[in-house]
Amino acid sequence: MQEAKNLKAYKKEVDDALQNEFLRTAMDNFAVAYRTGRVNAFAGMDVEKLVSDIADAKDYAIAHMDELFEEFKTNAEKTGVHVHLARTAQEANEIIARIADENNVAKIVKSKSMTAEETLLNHHLEADGYDVIETDLGEWIIQLRGEGPSHMVMPAIHLSRYQVADLFTDFTGQKQDSEIERLVKVARRELRQQYVEADMGISGANFALADTGSIGLATNEGNARLVTTLPRVHVALVGLDKLIPSLHDALLVNRALPRNATGQGITSYVTWITGPNACASALENKKEMHIVFLDNGRRDLAKDPIFSQVLRCVRCGACANVCPVYRMVGGHKYGHIYIGAIGLIITYFFHGRDKAKNLVQNCINCGACKAVCAAGIDLPRLIKEVLARIQDEAGHPLTSLLLGKVLRSRKLFHTLLRSARIAQKPVTDDSQYLRHLPFFF
């Protein structure tokens, strides 16, 4: 994703987004509809207790991450799965590329995976000469446009059906109707053949169950089932934070995930995979299955007394859904790869200070994200902590340094107040009050 070189350039990009009337309207409509859908989906449930239970379950998993990985590895390998651990994003990409090379893969189909977005897996595989096709409708659309996702759950939410119709017209060489049902049929027709021809399927996972060595996927389109069953090789790329002890914990999270993400009681498909399935095109009629677990800073985060709670995140995207800044400018200006309040935090840990330094200043500390977080993460506080860390590392702005000096000196502070009382007279007329402080303060 293209990044602004400095804060001034980033502000210009944000200003451009603010002038995009279609984007503003689309975001407004979604934000209003989402709130109603979420309330209806959680009706009659003790949401506070559910969030607390999820937080407790995820905190346990975070504290026992290494143990759960070893347990998962042992149980998955008993079923014939190859389990790998990648320390970095680059290492994960190299492992998957090596698996493709060893199995003479040419075409790869992918289901939606934010972890694959995190590692820029498509870029790596395409550079190695592989034909990689996204099969989630939204992901396929933005792949054709050469864009990144603008939302973790709904990657093409920033586009209209007319834009998609024009895109499909260019892709197919035939004029396409803008009716949504017809556009879906075009995607289905174009993608179905890809599943049949693909040598490898790559998926993510919402859950990794240590006690059985199983992975679970929550999806709405059914494409993940085709990706994980038809090709002769299946690779799942999974963050270490998706490890949980058992199905009980997964079902607990899944009670909140679809409700918080899209206002659904449950997604259209919840798929559990334990070991490689039968596959007529594979040697000995059995699929070759690999699970690549990604660290990329997660182990260090798990030991951080302040930030370990970010690993509770279930990737529902609700923190973006209710964010007034996201509503104004959309995900492409409010995230690097991960979008929303959680993105402002984990961009710093997964992609570095330079990618996070502009984004993290977007938070207005309204607390909306904290109120809807399915895992009870104190997002506003952690965003402040990230900003403080960045400024400690890169240097504080001059205005902050000057203000800090003033506030540390009682005598200087009161002297400036007395001076300001006189200085404000030209702008306050007969009033003794100044309605708005200068932005510096």
Q: Average pLDDT of 292-319?
A: 97
Q: Average pLDDT of 289-306?
A: 97
pLDDT at 251 over 90: yes
What pLDDT, on a 0 to 100 scale, did the predictor assign at position 21? 87
- For residues 78 and 44, what is the distance between their CA atoms, to the nearest angstrom? 42
Task: Tell me the DSSP string of 36-82.
Answer: HHHHHHTTTS-HHHHHHHHHHHHHHHHHTHHHHHHHHHHHHHHTT-E
- For residues 129 and 240, what is the distance between their CA atoms, to the nearest angstrom? 28
The predicted-structure confidence for 179-191, as pLDDT tens digits, reads as follows 999 999 999 999 9
The predicted-structure confidence for 22-35, as pLDDT tens digits, reads as follows 888 888 888 899 99
- For residues 174 and 4, what is the distance between their CA atoms, to the nearest angstrom? 37
Buried b (16+ CB within 10 A) or exposed e, 74-105: ebbeeeebbbbbbeebebbbebbbebbeebeb
The whole-model pTM stands at 0.88
47-300: which CATH number, 3.75.10.10, 1.20.120.50, 3.40.50.1780, 3.40.50.10420?
3.40.50.10420
- For residues 220 and 154, what is the distance between their CA atoms, to the nearest angstrom? 11
- For residues 151 and 144, what is the distance between their CA atoms, to the nearest angstrom? 17
Cβ-contact 114, 313 below 8 angstroms: no
pLDDT at 349 over 90: yes
What pLDDT, on a 0 to 100 scale, did the predictor assign at position 280? 83
Cβ-contact 261, 255 below 8 angstroms: no
The predicted-structure confidence for 57-76, as pLDDT tens digits, reads as follows 999 999 999 999 999 999 99
Per domain, the residue ranges of the chain are 7-41+317-394, 47-300, 398-428
What pLDDT, on a 0 to 100 scale, did the predictor assign at position 399? 67
Kindly indicate the confidence band of residue 398, based on its pLDDT and cuts at 50, 70 and 90. Answer: low
Cβ-contact 210, 73 below 8 angstroms: no
Kindly indicate the confidence band of residue 11, based on its pLDDT and cuts at 50, 70 and 90. Answer: confident
pLDDT at 410 over 80: yes
The predicted-structure confidence for 202-242, as pLDDT tens digits, reads as follows 999 999 999 999 999 999 999 999 999 999 999 999 999 99
What pLDDT, on a 0 to 100 scale, did the predictor assign at position 417? 77
Mean pLDDT of the chain: 92
Q: Average pLDDT of 329-346?
A: 92
- Residue indicated by tokens 């334990």: 274
Q: Of 189, 148, 187, nearest to 164 (Cα)?
A: 187
Q: What percent of the chain has pLDDT over 90?
A: 76
Between 357 and 420, whose confidence is greater? Answer: 357
